Structure 1
Amino acid sequence: MSGGVQPTRAEVDKRYDVFHTDCPARDVVDHVTSRWGVWVLISLRSNSLRFYELRESIQGISEKMLAQTLRALVQDGLVWRQVEPTTPPQVTYGLTEFGGDVGEPLSELFDRITRRLAPSDTG
């Protein structure tokens, strides 16, 4: 939108019907709530990480799935990607402002769940 005018709720509801398969917001919701999208956003909540650091922080994710998930989140504008021209290239990822906004409630949900669970040896 130009001029800084915020859309009204009715305008947003008219443009974005997340229950319709053609809704562009639906793809973003699908990427955020995918099996690995949630964990990427939570992992990046505190600071930016290199690819291998992300892979190590999210146990169980393959390089292929991490790359696919990051590609989708970058395309959606939730995550930024910076490539250092070294050999081999060093790629760093972090949350955009939009990604931070979207990731905040996910982090809160994660924190609430972990506070309520009994202590474990792995957590």
Structure 2
Amino acid sequence: MINFISKHTRICRKFYSKSNAVKQSSTIIDLILHNGNYITETDVTECPFSDKCFVLAKLLINKPKNELKKIDCRNLSTENIPKIFSSIDQIDFNPIKNYLTIEGKWKFFKNEILKIVDSIAPLRKFP
């Protein structure tokens, strides 16, 4: 890690009335440590309302390429939802008693519902 701040980041000025002089001290108290991969330039700018300075850094961040993403979706329109509901009402759920575990019962229930949804509103890729 390298510190790329070389200018003073705190400049303190004090007026002494006995000697009628202003004394100034400058220190580097703010650092930017980095390995040089993302920061291309740094600078220090005085702040008008504080004895501390602003520390600035210019970053080099490459924008990733735009990728067209495909989304799985279904047509759950106002026409298809009532069809799905009426088909679910016609399912015979009595075979669910044949499954001993909750996982088996859930799998049966889920498969029956998905059969109906897939037949009325099948998955499609968008765009």
Q: By the TM > 0.5 criterion, same fold?
A: no
Greater per-residue helix proportion: 1
TM-score, normalised relative to structure 2: 0.20
Larger Rg: 2
TM-score, normalised relative to structure 1: 0.21
Greater per-residue strand proportion: 2
